[in-house]
Chains A and B, each alone.
Chain A
């Protein structure tokens, strides 16, 4: 068995008296596409925040590429190759699309501390940003401030930033939330076209999107893992139907 790209072991997350996550175990093989589904309040985003380092768990361990990252700061995890998108669009709103991408690319080099030469003299990063925007068909918007972009284009920039650093693991928090069917299609196609070596962990409310992208699905409910399986197994499972459609007692 190959070592896992991401392993979460016996993870608890408590906020005072509230137990947001209880004894979570998760293991993703390199290149795996995994979706996490579950109703509102299941703890999906909390789990993402613990994996990415924004929150420190109350108990349990997180291994990334076999390294224990449980106590590492989020920026250290990012430099190890752990990338994420946010549920609410989280970009540099006053900066141009080009500057947003420049920041994502410069993050990987020591030149992010360079203060004595203007951006324009860092030609290699500027060219890489240009190439990336061209690949994504966003060159026409490159010099617009991000806040002036449509919501769909902003989600696209979010994805470009997350992928700019060639991560090993991509955490995506509801990438299709609020998108039109056509834009959702575009995101699904993008994820299908993604480099197969990138491991993807995805939170998704739209079950059809989750089942279309993921090879395996984990169902979270009230802070615990209910079941893990292939999309076909999840579809058939009576507990999942109960959670989503309401049990007999509901």
Chain B
């Protein structure tokens, strides 16, 4: 069984590695989007699926990191290299993650959902209104992808594809270990019973703070990649619509499973591309899809395939 699994993963990696030479540039672009959204969705799943923290403001960290690298590379330091941009983006996202966590972790359940939503809307409002800095709803266009060493540049679509693939594989591998570690088990324990975890001697608040900030940083990585991919960042990258979309990816794929959000990201990006070709109202269709998935497959695609309710990774 493990060998079959290892073989399947190997085959998948090999096929992902030859994709740029087989698919059209348009399709490669779709695949890049899938992987970026998969990172974003997995980061939310850490909170929602593993720890039981229903965040409805996860776009805050995605968009904030995007704005951070956009502002730095267009206004402060044009031609900045990748490393300092990424470090700066993560520093901003991490600081916001800590600050928001200190506020949000005072609440539980639906109140947590409301406060994460409100905090994200504050950032959205700033991006929307502070035109001189953020360009308002026009966003910040013309963001260059940074140069790498040895004359390589992320401006090359193939190089960019491999950079995203590398980030996706490393993050997935890290999470694969994390959810199987004692810390990951503690998160599931918090999801199942916070009072029991306290009675056993776990500092539940500290565990939540750590995973909240970690999830924010991962969302930030996705947001930076997305900004470089589009050469553009706008308030929609901080919006409630995006927070809801990533939430749909997690629940559609299977919350509390590692690979569910990847499937969910794949399904939503594909659907969005197909549907938006013939209707402006794909948001409505996504809404219907959400209703259908919670009605007939409450544990997502992964739970549906595994055929047992409450299937957990």
User: Is the pair A78, B183 in contact by a Cβ cutoff of 8 Å?
Assistant: no
Contact string against A for B residues 136-155, beta-carbon threshold 8 Å, 1 for contact and 0 otherwise: 00000000000000000000
| Further 9 A-B residue pairs, CB within 8 A, beyond A90-B199, A93-B192, A93-B193 | A54-B195, A73-B198, A75-B203, A95-B185, A99-B185, A115-B177, A117-B177, A118-B181, A122-B182
* Chain A residues near B196 (CB-CB < 8 A): 86, 90-92, 161
Asked whether B186 is an interface residue with its Cβ less than 8 Å from the other chain, the reply is: yes
**Closest A-B pairs by Cβ, 9 of them:** A78-B201, A115-B183, A92-B192, A118-B180, A107-B201, A107-B200, A79-B201, A74-B198, A115-B181
* Chain A residues near B172 (CB-CB < 8 A): none
Number of B residues near A (Cβ < 8 Å) is: 27
User: Is the pair A114, B192 in contact by a Cβ cutoff of 8 Å?
Assistant: no
User: Is the pair A94, B201 in contact by a Cβ cutoff of 8 Å?
Assistant: no
CA distance A115 to B203 in the complex (A): 16
Asked whether A111 is an interface residue with its Cβ less than 8 Å from the other chain, the reply is: yes
Number of A residues near B (Cβ < 8 Å) is: 40
User: Is the pair A114, B198 in contact by a Cβ cutoff of 8 Å?
Assistant: no
User: Is the pair B202, A94 in contact by a Cβ cutoff of 8 Å?
Assistant: no
Please indicate which of the listed interface residues A74, A108, A111, A122 has the most CB atoms of chain B within 10 Å of its own CB.
Answer: A74
Asked whether A191 is an interface residue with its Cβ less than 8 Å from the other chain, the reply is: no
Show 20 A/B contacts (Cβ-Cβ < 8 Å), sorted by A. A75-B197, A75-B198, A75-B200, A78-B201, A90-B195, A91-B192, A92-B188, A94-B191, A95-B188, A95-B192, A99-B188, A111-B182, A115-B178, A115-B183, A117-B181, A119-B181, A119-B182, A119-B185, A122-B182, A161-B196
Asked whether B84 is an interface residue with its Cβ less than 8 Å from the other chain, the reply is: no
Please indicate which of the listed interface residues A104, A115, A117 has the most CB atoms of chain B within 10 Å of its own CB.
Answer: A115
Asked whether A106 is an interface residue with its Cβ less than 8 Å from the other chain, the reply is: yes
Contact string against A for B residues 298-313, beta-carbon threshold 8 Å, 1 for contact and 0 otherwise: 0000000000001010
* Chain B residues near A120 (CB-CB < 8 A): 180
With beta carbons under 8 angstroms apart, the residue of A92, A93, A108 that contacts B201 is A108
CA distance A52 to B178 in the complex (A): 31
User: Is the pair A107, B202 in contact by a Cβ cutoff of 8 Å?
Assistant: yes
Asked whether B204 is an interface residue with its Cβ less than 8 Å from the other chain, the reply is: yes
User: Is the pair A106, B185 in contact by a Cβ cutoff of 8 Å?
Assistant: yes
With beta carbons under 8 angstroms apart, the residue of A94, A116, A122, A165 that contacts B200 is A165
CB-CB under 8 A for A92 and B189, given A78-B199, A104-B200, A161-B200: yes
Asked whether A113 is an interface residue with its Cβ less than 8 Å from the other chain, the reply is: yes
* Chain B residues near A112 (CB-CB < 8 A): 182-183, 186, 202
